[in-house]
Structure 1
Amino acid sequence: MSVETTADNEYNFEDKFEKHLRYVFYMKPLSENPKCDTSKLEFFGVLSLKDVLKPERKLWCIYHCRQPDIDRTIDALREKYGKKNMYEIFRRPIFKGAALRAGVKKHFTDLKWFVKGNLLEAPPKSHFNDDRVIKSVTDVYNIERQKLHNFMAMKLHWRNQRW
């Protein structure tokens, strides 16, 4: 189920989450043109790697960093693994990059993948491709967002019961 659906019977997760946060922390409603400090945004991304020496290997590299460091981080990864051999398949703003990185690593470790540092390698003769990796990472991303939403909803419920 997509989080950003617009059907009548479903909700937009981002809007509902923002309303909960503003209510819990007694914040004013969001203005028409919000001013956001982009240097504090953190991003999580996945790069698809192609091994020139062994094309049958399926590799992906995960990273997380703040907004101003994205170019530097990707350049360092391209320098390490080869500029022509990689392209980005996933990038999203997140609350905490290290937590999502740990969740992604655990998810793929449970699938019996080879996980070392920031590299993810599918087992030989695996059915995984870039689309399936994107779907898996998006599912883990949505689970992490849902955990944060549930925590905020629990705090709101606890506060309402105390009063």
Structure 2
Amino acid sequence: MASEVSKTFDEEFEEYWHKVFYITPSKDTKCDPSVLEYFGVLRLTDLRSPERKLWYIYYAKQPEVDETLNRIFHKYGKKNMCEIFRKHTFSGVALRARVKAYFDDKKWHVKGNLLEAPAKSSYNNDQMIKIMTELHHEERKMLYSFLCMKHNGVMTYFY
């Protein structure tokens, strides 16, 4: 049932954008799901110092998610990590940059894909999920605003 609703929405959404940008739809081409990117966060437990609060951020295209997770699990140990957040996004690179900038402003230790909360901070997985959801929502809002701006520009051109 949910896939039918999602499929119908996707079809309607695609039809709407074809109308907005005056693109003739092609029956033989569909959106390729392999270009869809996912952004995720893994909770990392350091066995040598369990008081450290570490999270690992990653992004990958849909077919590469399992390979990316296996590589990360191999590097840090699967039993030391658990996935707390994964969402599809327009650009994993842009969301990663937004997340790193956000935590860098909060004076966290940010190195590569690792995020470390300051000592004696009260951050936990629930707070991290909430922050990631908000940052993901901001990223989607920015994309939506861009599309609306383009749509308004097209409409003012024709009227």
Question: TM-score by structure 2 length?
Answer: 0.83
Residue 75 of structure 1 deviates from its aligned partner by 0.7
Does the aligned pair in 2 maintain the 1:41–1:66 contact within 8 Å? yes
Shift in alpha-carbon separation, 1:70–1:94, aligned structure 2, 3 A: same
Change (3 A) 1:156 1:88: same
Are the aligned partners of 2:21 and 2:154 in contact in 1 as well (CA < 8 Å)? no
* CA distance in structure 2 between the aligned counterparts of 1:21 and 1:134, rounded to whole angstroms: 32
Aligned length: 147
**C-alpha distance in 1 between matches for 2:145 and 2:12:** 12
Q: Distance in 2 between matches of 1:146 and 1:85?
A: 34
Structure 1, 72-81 or 15-24: larger mean CA deviation: 15-24
Which AA in structure 1 matches 2:97? A
Q: Tell me the equivalent position of 2:136.
A: 141
Question: SS of the counterpart of 1:63?
Answer: strand
- SS of structure 2 residue aligned to 1:69: helix
Displacement after TM superposition at 1:37 (Å): 2.8
Match of residue 113 from structure 1: 108
Structure 1 runs of 4+ aligned residues shifted over 3 Å read 14-23, 26-29
Alignment of 1:26-41 (within 5 A): 26=22, 36-41=31-36
Partner of 1:92: 87
Query: What do you get for the CA RMSD once the two structures are aligned?
Result: 2.4
| CA shift in 2, pair 1:159/1:59, >3 Å | same
The gaps in structure 1 that reach 5 residues or longer are 1-13, 30-34
The equivalent of 1:25 in structure 2 is 21
Gaps of 5+ in 2: 1-9
Q: What percent identity do the matched residue pairs reach?
A: 52
The residue that corresponds to 2:49 in the other structure is 54
**Does 2:125 correspond to 1:130?**
yes
Displacement after TM superposition at 1:61 (Å): 0.3
Once residues 134 and 122 of structure 1 are traced to their aligned partners in structure 2, the CA distance between those partners, rounded to angstroms, is: 14
Task: Tell me the alpha carbon deviations over residues 52-81 of structure 1, each in whole angstroms, 9 at most, x when there is no partner.
Answer: 010000000000011111111101111111
What secondary structure, in the 3-state scheme, does the structure 1 residue paired with 2:93 have?
helix
Secondary structure (helix, strand or coil) at the match of 1:53 reads coil
User: 2:87 aligns to what SS in structure 1?
Assistant: strand
Secondary structure of the equivalent of 1:128?
A: coil
Deviation (angstroms), 1:127? 1.2
Contact 1:17-1:149 within 8 A present in 2 as well: no
Aligned-residue offset at 1:158: 1.3
Q: 40, 46, 61: which one pairs with 1:45?
A: 40
TM-score by length of 1: 0.81
Aligned residue identity for 1:84: K
Query: Quick one: structure 1 residues 62 and 26, their matched pair in 2 at CA, closer, same or farther if it must change by over 3 Å?
Result: same
Say which structure is richer in helix.
2
Match of 1:76 in 2: 71
CA distance in 1, matches of 2:35, 2:12: 22
Deviation at 1:25, TM superposition (A): 2.6
